[in-house]
Every structure is written in C-alpha cells, then in structure tokens.
Amino acid sequence: MQKRYLKISIVCFTIAVIAYLFMGCASIPGRIEVIVPSFKVIFCPPGDRYLPKPYVGLSAKHKHGGGYTIFVFGEIEDGKITTNFEYLGHELMHILNWEDDRIAIPDRRK
C-alpha cells in the first residue's frame, strides 16, 4: 500500500512540474484563504442511490442551512476506507469555486 501512494505522489509531482515549466502556469501572488462553513464527505459503495452511474464523485450545495456534501466512491484497503484522490479533489474544487469565484471550475480546466 505504501508503494502505491509513493508512486501516486511521484506521478502527481511530476505532472505539476511539467505543468509549471511547459504550460505557463503562474503562481499566485500571495496567500488566498477560502473558508467553507461546513461540509461533509460521504463514502458510497457501488450502486449507491446518491451516486448514480456514471458518476464517481458528486458535490451538493444545501439551500437551507448552508453547507455542502461530497459523495464519492469508497473502497476498503487494509481495513481502512480510501478513495481516489483525484475524485475527492475534483469535488472539493467545486465547493471552493462556489465559495470564491477566484477558484477555477474543475470541469473547465485544460
């Protein structure tokens, strides 16, 4: 399991370096703080009614009372719940965008 996470980290770091060097990504001028009032993450098994096919992750904004919910597929690995980092991060980016429009919409990224 440790080797898997190490490989994923190396791949993500490599992609970030390539994006920075070759795609002209600019760094932010300083710290940007986005405060999310409340959100919860619900890990769903395959076929769950809150996460219909073809979705592997879904964000929901609550109209009354504020707050957000992320529904994402979960797996059991070595007795612990885990999920794909890309799915969880993608849905979190939606929530951050809803709170602050300076944050990019993840569906429109290149």
Rounded CA-CA distance 96/102 in Å is 9
Residue 11 has pLDDT above 80, yes or no: no
CB contact set of 110 (below 8 Å; sequence gap of 6+): 23
> How confident is the model over 18-38, as a mean pLDDT?
70
What pTM was estimated for this model as a whole? 0.67
Q: Which helix (H) or strand (E) holds 75?
A: strand 75-77
**Residue ranges of domains in the chain:** 31-105
pLDDT digits (tens, 9 = 90+) for 84-107: 888 888 888 888 888 888 888 888
Burial class (CB in 10 A: 0-12, 13-18, 19+), 81: exposed
Which of 29-43, 54-68, 83-97 is most confident?
83-97
Burial class (CB in 10 A: 0-12, 13-18, 19+), 15: exposed
pLDDT at site 40: 86
Nearest CA to 91 out of 54, 60, 53 is that of 60
Is 41:72 a contact under the CB 8 Å cutoff? yes
